[in-house]
Amino acid sequence: MDGAALRPSLLAWFSLSVALCYLVQEGHAQFPGQCESTPTKCSCVYTDVATGKKMTYDLGDLSNGDGTFRYTEVRGNDQNLYWFNPCASATIPSSGGCEDVIACQLWNNIFSGLGTLQSNRFISEGNRVFIQSQNTDSIAFRILKVYLNCNEGMGETIFSAAGDQEIQHTYVFEMTGPGACPKSADGGGGGGNNGSSVGLTPGWYMVIFGISILVVYIVAGIMIQHFKFDKTGKEIIPNYTFWIGLPGLIKDGAMFGVQKVKGVGGGSSTEYEKL
């Protein structure tokens, strides 16, 4: 096979590797379809396309069950105060506007309910998941969106409020921490610290990309060595001379570094400087 015939083959190999890398990344990074809400309105279940396992978001452990709010008087980016209880209805006594709701706003000394447990549903948006709820009072129809940000490294799950940011009367909250992570649906129970992220971390993408490049390098190199230069045996390995000498180069470099640290071999007498 000559060089002209070889080039399309190498291009095909490279294109295939890039395509596989993209598909692997997309299969992990994108949320796999709708997370179906359960009858409790507090959890949802989906199938992880990468593993085929049933996974669940369950916020039961992040709520109070005694009619009070779990997160209270959180200052939003819009400077209003917010209360939130993801999975159970709560009430602020004598508020006149926050009875049997999961979220509440205090604006200009007026309490307003932002969402009800009955209207809770889980929605996927790209590789993110959020809870959407709604509430209607005599003033306005309000929509609540609570984004779940998985972070297993945090000690607890925190609640933050952007407030009325997107469209008027659409309120955006975020929950960040281990309680906002999905976990295996087979284990049951509520969202805890053992959840796993839907997507891979950037480090894993780099590993996948690096392995793909290595495969292309080895396969393409062997084809070139064999078909173009008629190499056989060990010499079919791409850049064989370099790789066989690499351990020696590493050893020399390490010894040179150690000598410099110890203060020996300096000055014009070193072998490297003579070269």
Q: pLDDT tens for residues 155-197?
A: 889 989 887 765 677 888 899 999 888 888 876 433 333 333 4
Question: In terms of Cα–Cα distance, which of 75, 79, 138, 141 is closest to 114?
Answer: 141
Average pLDDT on 2-30 reads 45
What pLDDT, on the 0 to 100 scale, is given for residue 248? 87
Indicate the pLDDT class of residue 11, thresholds 50, 70 and 90. Answer: very low
Domain ranges of the chain: 3-20+203-274, 32-197
The predicted-structure confidence for 80-137, as pLDDT tens digits, reads as follows 899 999 888 999 988 888 889 989 989 888 888 888 888 888 888 777 888 888 876 6
The predicted-structure confidence for 123-136, as pLDDT tens digits, reads as follows 887 778 888 888 76
CATH of domain 32-197: 2.70.130.10
What pLDDT, on the 0 to 100 scale, is given for residue 73? 92
Whether the pLDDT of residue 220 is over 60: the answer is: yes
- Kindly report the pTM of this predicted structure: 0.55
E-strand spans in the chain? 36-37, 43-47, 54-58, 71-75, 81-84, 103-107, 110-115, 121-125, 128-136, 141-150, 158-164, 170-177, 183-184
